[in-house]
Chain A
Amino acid sequence: MSDGVSRRSFLKTAGASAAAASLAQVAQAAIAPPEAGVPATPTLGPDATDVTLSVNGKPMKLRVDPATTLLSALRMECDLTGAKEVCDRASCGACSVIIDGRLVASCMMLALDAEGTKITTVEGLAKGDELDPLQLAFVKHDALQCGYCTPGLVVACRALLDKNPKPSLSQIKSGLSGNICRCGTYTNIFNAVLEASGQKPIADSAPV
C-alpha cells in the first residue's frame, strides 16, 4: 500500500490487542506441570515453541503453539496467503501445498509436524516474474472464475505433473479429486493441465 501499511500488517496489529487480552486468561488457566518421573518422552508445548520451516526454499523461523495448523502458520506467520482456508477439514483442497513432493491439505496438518520437510506453496511455483507453465496455461484456458480455489488447484496440478508428466484425462480427474471448484470450471482446468503437459485440450463442449 502507498502509505506503507499493508492490509496484513494492519490486521496483525489490530489482532495483537485482542491476543494480549486473552493471554491473561491463559496465564490464569496455567496447567500443572507433568508429574516427575513418568516417561522421559520429548514433548512440545502446550505453550508456543520455536520451529523452523523450510518454505519455498527459505528457512522460516516461527514461534507457534502445537495447535497451530500448517495453514495458519503459512498465512499468519509467513505472510504466504496463497493457500486458502475454506472447509478447514481437508475436504476442498483450497489449502493444498506440496510437502516433500506430496500433495497435502495444510489445514489438517500441525505446523510442528511439517518441521524437517520441504514445503512448496503456490507462491513458490513462479521463478521471479516468470510464471510456471501451468500458471500460464490456467490463464490461457481461463481455468478459474471467482479464483478462490485456484491456488490450491494450481498446486494440485503441479503435484500431479511432477509425478506424472503426461497424465490421461482420467488420471487428471483422479489427481484433482481432492480439489473442489464451486464455480465449476473443471473443463478449463483439465485443459490447462493437458496444455501444460503438451497434450491436446478437450473441446469445451465435450462432456466431462
Chain B
Amino acid sequence: MNRFTLVRPKSYADASGVLTSKTYSLPVLKAGGLDVLDHMKEALWSPDALVDVKRLMPAGQREPIATFTREVSWNGSTPQPNWSSDNGFVHVAASALLADVASSPQVLAAAPVVAQSLASAATPQVRNVGTVAGNLLQRPRCWYYRQQQFDCLKKGGSQCFAVEGENAYHAIFGPGPCHIVHPSNLAPALMVCDGRVHLVGGKRDSLKISELYHMPEKGITSEHNLEPGEIITHISFESRQVSGFYSIKHKQSFDWPLVFACVALAVDANKITHASVCAGAVAPVPWMLPSVAAALVGVSPDDDAAITAACAKAGEGAKPMRDNGYKVQLLSVAVKRAILVALKKPVPGQEEGNS
C-alpha cells in the first residue's frame, strides 16, 4: 500500500470538512477499511489520506442500534410508517458492525430480512470489521473492475470487458453499458423495508435507499448519488416482521451470491395484503420486482401454486449475457425461498446452512 496520513476526525462534520478541503489531494473515507484496503492493495486507489470514521456515532445516538415506535424527528419531519400503524422504526449507526446488526434481537424482531441479509454477507472475519455504511457503499466486485490491468468503463476506460469476456456473474437486467451487479446484501433488504440513509455534510438530511444508487447510464465511475463531502451517519428502516432473505451461492457458507432475494409481506385474514420484493446480484442497482409483488397480493400464504406462479415472473424483462442465463431461473427460486423464509415455512436445502 502507498504512504498515507490517517486522519481521525472527532465528528462527521469534521470528517466532511477534511473531504472537501484541499488539504489532501485524494482523501478517502474509511470505516472498517476492508474495501478501501482492497483497492489500495490492488493499486486501484492511492489516497494520500484515509479519513477514519470507524469510531464515530451519529449525533444524539448512543447505541449503535435503536428502535422507536414512532419515527423520531431527526430531520424536522415525522413520517408515518407506510404499512401499518403498529410498525416501528429502527435506526442503525453507519459505523455499526455487520455482525452486531445480524445478531441484534431488535433487528431480528423488527425486520428479519435485514438481519438475515447481513448474516449471509461474507465471513465472520469480515462481519466483525465491516460496517453498515461500508456495506452500502462498497464498490462492485466485477473482476474486470477489480483488476488494475483492465481499463474498464468504470475506471474511465472505453469498454466493458464483461460484454465479450467472462460474464457468468454479471447483470441480467439493465441496458449497460457497464454490467456490474450491485455488491451490497443490505441495500435490497432496506429496499423492502422503506429504508433511508441519513446524511451530513451536504444540503440533504436523508435519502431514500431507492434514491441512493443510479444505473450506469447515469454515471459509470460511481454507483451512488452522494455529493462530495456527504457522509452517511446512520440508516433507518421500517419494521417488516414478515420478511425474509434467501441467497444462492456456489458455496452456501461463504461466497458472493449468484442471486438473492429480499421479501417483505403483510398478511391479514390469511391473505397477503402487501408485498415488496427486491432482487440482488442481478442488476447494477438493487432490483425491485413489482410484478412479482403485485401477483402475490391477494394470494393465501398457504397457496403454494399461486406463490410459485408469482415467483415465475421474477425474470420478466431480463436480458441475460452469454454465460449468465442460469440466473433467470435461479432468481425465481431465490424469491420463492425468501417468501418461505418470511412465512417461516420449511425451505428446501435450508439445513445445509444458508445462514
Contacts and interface: CB of A to CB of B under 8 A. Distances in A.
Contact of A96 (B23, B33, B125, B351): B125
Contacts of B7: 41-43
Interface stretch (A30-38, A54-62, A118-126, A128-136): A30-38
A88 interface: yes
B294 interface: no
Interface in A157-188: 159, 170, 173-175, 177-178
Contacts of A174: 124, 253, 353, 355
B218 to A, nearest CB: 30
A53 to B, nearest CB: 15
Contacts of A93: 123, 125
Given A34-B24, A39-B9, A105-B129, A67 B54 contact: no
Contacts of B129: 90, 104-105, 108-109
A105 B8 contact: no
Given A102-B128, A174-B253, A42 B23 contact: no
A177 B123 contact: yes
B281 to A, nearest CB: 18
B66 interface: no
A1 interface: no
Nearest to A35: B23
Contacts of B9: 39, 41-42
Interface stretch (B13-21, B271-279, B297-305, B317-325): B13-21
A143 interface: no
Contact of A108 (B4, B17, B33, B124): B33
Interface string B1-12: 111111111100
B5 A103 contact: no
B14 A41 contact: yes
A196 interface: no
A43 B21 contact: no
A66 B33 CA distance: 12
Q: Which of A26, A93, A96, A110 lies at the interface centre, i.e. has the most chain B CB atoms within 10 A of its CB?
A: A110
Interface size class of B (residues with CB under 8 A): 35 or more
B37 interface: yes
Contacts of A109: 33, 129
B151 interface: no
A49 to B, nearest CB: 8
Contact of A43 (B5, B123, B351): B5
Contacts of A43: 5-8, 49
A105 B18 contact: no
B44 to A, nearest CB: 13
Contact of B254 (A46, A110, A177): A177
B2 A67 contact: yes
Nearest to B17: A39
A28 B49 CA distance: 19
A44 interface: yes
A45 interface: yes
Nearest to A171: B355
Given A41-B18, A105-B129, A46 B23 contact: no
A166 to B, nearest CB: 17
A182 B49 CA distance: 37
A18 to B, nearest CB: 17
A42 B8 CA distance: 5
A46 B14 CA distance: 20
B204 interface: no
B128 A170 contact: no
B50 interface: yes
Contacts of B351: 170
Contacts of A39: 9, 14, 17-18, 21, 23
Given A44-B5, A105-B125, A108-B33, A177 B41 contact: no
Contact of B6 (A34, A112, A159, A170): A112
Contacts of A31: 3, 48
Contact of B21 (A38, A45, A66): A38
A126 B53 CA distance: 36
A40 to B, nearest CB: 9
B203 interface: no
B253 A45 contact: no
A178 B254 contact: yes
B59 to A, nearest CB: 17
A142 interface: no
A77 interface: no
A79 interface: no
Contacts of B207: none
Interface string B250-278: 00011000000000000000000000000
A132 B7 CA distance: 40
21 contacts: A26-B3, A38-B18, A38-B22, A39-B18, A41-B10, A43-B6, A46-B4, A65-B3, A67-B2, A96-B125, A103-B125, A104-B128, A109-B33, A112-B6, A113-B33, A156-B124, A156-B125, A170-B352, A173-B353, A174-B253, A178-B124
Q: Which 6 A-B pairs have the closest CB atoms?
A: A178-B123, A177-B253, A177-B254, A66-B6, A102-B128, A105-B125
